[in-house]
Amino acid sequence: MSQHAIETPPAVTLPVSGTDAVFPVRRVYCIGRNYAAHAIEMGHDPDRDPPFFFQKNPDDLDPSGEFPYPDKSADVHHEIEMAVMLKSGGTNIPVERALEHVFGYALSLDMTRRDLQGEQKKLGRPWEIGKAFERSAPVGPIHPVDAVGHLDRGAVELEVNGEVRQEGDLDQMIWKVPEMIAYLSEYFALAAGDVILSGTPSGVGPVVRGDVMKVSVAGLGSMNVRVV
Ligand code: MN
């Protein structure tokens, strides 16, 4: 075994509900505009155009329950999303076999610097600065499929300081979980440790320091994330 030439970066792992085992993260894919009402609120046509994806970094996933408001931004939005964790992967996965690759599901947030994302959109530039920033994806414990089954319907809700801001249902996804996995696998080699954030329902909006976001998805319970 060869030695690393520099200090070894820490592995990114996430807690798994009901066990001491942790889930090692490889890549993070996020789908854009996957609920029609959210596509409309962002000024887009909700037709079933091919899906599009962007990525966050593995170490943007943060199970701490705190979200540090980033510098250089004055308009940071919450986007509640269900995260899908893969235990295996491959290329050109057929839709009807896609769910065999899912290890489990978790609550998550795709926190977004909407001001910076908007500037990049206008300039036709990539979104990383608005999406893939430090600790931009608060995430809850992973619930294995063995415990909760596959989730394709049920309420998705986000409250800020006790007030409901986002409300939807998993069955409103334009591209369902198996379709997302199949589509991604046509362009990327998916593998164990990959995470897919499955899009957000309508009602996205800004947070400020001190806010408490309560994230819930039917079947996954709820988690609180404090903006600090
Ligand atoms: Mn999103």
Place of tokens 């800020």: 160
- Ligand 1 center to residue 101 CA distance, Å? 22
Q: Give the pLDDT score at 44.
A: 84
- Ligand 1 center to residue 73 CA distance, Å? 17
Which of 217, 58, 21 is closest to 136 using CA atoms? 58
Describe the strand order of the beta sheet including 76-78 as a list of residue ranges: 112-113, 76-78, 205-206
Over range 98-125, report the average pLDDT: 97
- Ligand 1 center to residue 147 CA distance, Å? 26
Q: Give the pLDDT score at 216.
A: 98
- Ligand 1 center to residue 222 CA distance, Å? 18
Written as six digits, the tokens of 137 are 């994806």
Residue 46 has pLDDT above 80, yes or no: no
Q: Give the pLDDT score at 65.
A: 98
Q: What is the pLDDT of the chain when averaged over all its residues?
A: 96
**d(C-alpha 77, C-alpha 63), whole Å:** 18
Neighbours of ion ligand 1 (CB under 5 A): 79, 110, 200
**d(C-alpha 198, C-alpha 53), whole Å:** 10
Q: Give the pLDDT score at 39.
A: 80
Residue 227 has pLDDT above 80, yes or no: yes
Q: Find out whether 155 and 169 touch, Cβ atoms under 8 Å.
A: yes
- Ligand 1 center to residue 4 CA distance, Å? 35
Helix or strand (DSSP H, E) at 166: strand 163-169
pLDDT per residue over 49-69, tens digit each?
889 999 999 999 999 999 999
- Model confidence at 100, pLDDT cuts 50, 70, 90, reads very high
- Ligand 1 center to residue 100 CA distance, Å? 24
Cβ neighbours around 160 below 10 Å, total: 18
- Ligand 1 center to residue 105 CA distance, Å? 16
Written as six digits, the tokens of 200 are 């957000």
pLDDT per residue over 189-215, tens digit each?
999 999 999 999 999 999 999 999 999
Place of tokens 């309508």: 202
pTM of the model: 0.96
Q: Give the pLDDT score at 75.
A: 98
- Ligand 1 center to residue 211 CA distance, Å? 19
Cβ neighbours around 217 below 10 Å, total: 28
Q: Could you tell me what percent of the chain has a pLDDT over 90?
A: 92
Written as six digits, the tokens of 49 are 């155009």
**DSSP states along 92-105:** S--GGGGGGGEEEE
Which of 112, 137, 126, 119 is closest to 204 using CA atoms? 112
pLDDT per residue over 138-173, tens digit each?
999 999 999 999 999 999 999 999 999 999 999 999
**d(C-alpha 78, C-alpha 204), whole Å:** 6
Amino acid at 226: R
Residue 1 has pLDDT above 80, yes or no: no
Q: Give the pLDDT score at 104.
A: 98
- Ligand 1 center to residue 167 CA distance, Å? 14
Q: Give the pLDDT score at 49.
A: 83
